[in-house]
Amino acid sequence: MPQAHPLLDSLDWPAVFAEATGLFRDLLRIDTTNSPEHPGNEIEAARYLEQRFAEAGLSVEVLESAPGRGNVITRIKGDGTGGPPILLSAHLDVVPAEAEHWEHPPFGAEIHDGCIWGRGAIDMKNMAAMEAMAMLLLQRHGCSLKRDLIFAGVADEEEGCELGSLWLVREHPELVRAEYAISEIGGFSLHVGDKCFYPVQIAEKGYVRLTVRARGTPGHGSLPNADNPITHISRAAQRLAEQRLPHHSTATARAFIEGLARNQPFPNSAILRGLLRSATADFILDHLLPDPSFSASIDALLHNTANPTVLRAGLKINQVPSEALLRIDGRTLPGQSSEDIVREIKAVIGPEFEVTLDSAADPTVTDADDPIAGHIEQVMARQAPGGIVLPMLIPGFTDAKAYSQLGTRCWGFSPVQLEPEMNFSSMFHGHNERIPVEGFHFGVRTLLDLVTTLVL
Ligand SMILES: [Zn+2]
């Protein structure tokens, strides 16, 4: 196996970890909560990083897409012999935290029980700090790069990327154009049985936002009404709750599930493989997978999904309305179009409803056999011997949706080691978000290993 770049052996790692941890905790203390009521205010985090980069002699730009919505970009030039640029990207905003449900303050960055606690500890100020540290180290050591390395700390991912990565791709594509982008969500340890896996994100589902409309006969609330649109629309919601959309076995699903199955004893291996067959998948999802959150993730990997999320009908207690609306958050697998999922939804809810498409974004997928996969495998073999790298699809979306519009191949690799009992996905947007200090150090070193492998 090739060695890591000599830079890694020459570093004073305790000092690097201390600096990266300081930078990370500073970012956690900056409240960049982003919600409709509380726009991100990422500018403070962007200015903070600007200052750290400028101190190291990097030229850096802060771009405001709207007042207070800061994006920060810096670049180390390479000679281009290794190819087009590599982009390291992290969103600087976080989702709201209900402090009363936390054991430690969400913007305190306190250290307890070997963990750093705070909103953004996993999603994804850890990665912002790791990426910034890689930039600072390459700059300080005067490394000559064979391709440009870009860092983008972006706004607004948690509210749809409009004022962050999408804005940059639209308004300043030359600043973020790259062959590869490395960002969330992947590189975390996932313990299944006695094996440790490291899923790496190579695909994300698309989304389709729909309105289902039921019409009926309006009338007085005092009279029976068999044509009440509220009861009609509730049947549509009920049918979606009772029936999955059809099973699809995509290349990413096959690679992920086969990778898990190969490393599990019988009968677990056979049960896992059964998920790839439409005849057995639903039974296994409902009855044989022990952990509901694992089952839900696998379910989303094998199906387009449709969740009713908004219901609107009626104005007055004594009046049957003439129509009722149900909004549906649909998610599409790679290879599936908006038309495909609309057809599937119509088949489940029945022909009596009017369905309109409000907005949609295609799934993104990159090739699991891309050359970068080999580099990630080597890095993980060095940094986490025995760990098994698995290509993964995520049900949601990230800044990869934006960057892939520029032809960038997006890889979700934000390395972190978690204790077996810590559930990565429950930490995302959940209470008590935290990261083990050691697991963060692992991330700093592993990301630097990958970055040096790619650019030096
Ligand atoms: Zn995120």
Alpha-carbon span 310 to 313, nearest angstrom: 10
Q: Tell me how far the alpha carbon of residue 387 lies from the centroid of ligand 1, in angstroms.
A: 23
Q: Taking the CB of residue 121, how many other CB atoms lie within 10 A of it?
A: 26
Residue pair 188/198 in contact (Cβ under 8 Å)? The answer is yes
pLDDT of residue 290: 82
Q: Tell me how far the alpha carbon of residue 158 lies from the centroid of ligand 1, in angstroms.
A: 7
Alpha-carbon span 73 to 61, nearest angstrom: 5
pLDDT of residue 291: 86
pLDDT of residue 324: 98
Q: Tell me how far the alpha carbon of residue 312 lies from the centroid of ligand 1, in angstroms.
A: 30
pLDDT of residue 419: 87
Q: Tell me how far the alpha carbon of residue 115 lies from the centroid of ligand 1, in angstroms.
A: 19
Q: Tell me how far the alpha carbon of residue 396 lies from the centroid of ligand 1, in angstroms.
A: 10
For 369-397, give one letter per residue: b (16+ CB within 10 A) or e: eeebbebbbbbbebbbeebbbbbbbbbeb
Alpha-carbon span 291 to 148, nearest angstrom: 43
Residue pair 258/197 in contact (Cβ under 8 Å)? The answer is no
Alpha-carbon span 123 to 429, nearest angstrom: 8
pLDDT of residue 161: 95
Of 40, 307, 29, 64, the residue nearest 157 (C-alpha)? 40
Q: Tell me how far the alpha carbon of residue 451 lies from the centroid of ligand 1, in angstroms.
A: 20
Q: Tell me how far the alpha carbon of residue 326 lies from the centroid of ligand 1, in angstroms.
A: 28
Residue-wise pLDDT tens digits, 235-255: 999 999 999 999 999 999 999
Q: Tell me how far the alpha carbon of residue 151 lies from the centroid of ligand 1, in angstroms.
A: 16
pLDDT of residue 157: 97
Q: Tell me how far the alpha carbon of residue 128 lies from the centroid of ligand 1, in angstroms.
A: 11
pLDDT of residue 422: 81
Distances (CA, A) of 256 to 199, 202, 281, 283, 425: 8, 11, 15, 19, 17
pLDDT of residue 230: 98
pLDDT of residue 420: 86
pLDDT of residue 129: 98
Of 370, 336, 341, 369, the residue nearest 357 (C-alpha)? 341
Q: Tell me how far the alpha carbon of residue 436 lies from the centroid of ligand 1, in angstroms.
A: 18
Q: Tell me how far the alpha carbon of residue 398 lies from the centroid of ligand 1, in angstroms.
A: 7
Q: Tell me how far the alpha carbon of residue 429 lies from the centroid of ligand 1, in angstroms.
A: 9
Of 171, 241, 182, 233, the residue nearest 375 (C-alpha)? 182
pLDDT of residue 423: 73
Alpha-carbon span 107 to 44, nearest angstrom: 14
Distances (CA, A) of 261 to 189, 255, 287, 294, 367: 17, 10, 18, 14, 21
Helix (H, G, I), strand (E, B) or coil at 145: strand
Residue-wise pLDDT tens digits, 296-341: 999 999 999 999 999 999 999 999 999 999 999 999 999 999 999 9
Q: Tell me how far the alpha carbon of residue 118 lies from the centroid of ligand 1, in angstroms.
A: 14
Helix (H, G, I), strand (E, B) or coil at 21: helix
Residue numbers in the chain where pLDDT is lower than 70? none
Q: How many CA atoms lie within 13 A of 399 on its CB side?
A: 32
Q: Tell me how far the alpha carbon of residue 152 lies from the centroid of ligand 1, in angstroms.
A: 14
Q: Tell me how far the alpha carbon of residue 127 lies from the centroid of ligand 1, in angstroms.
A: 10
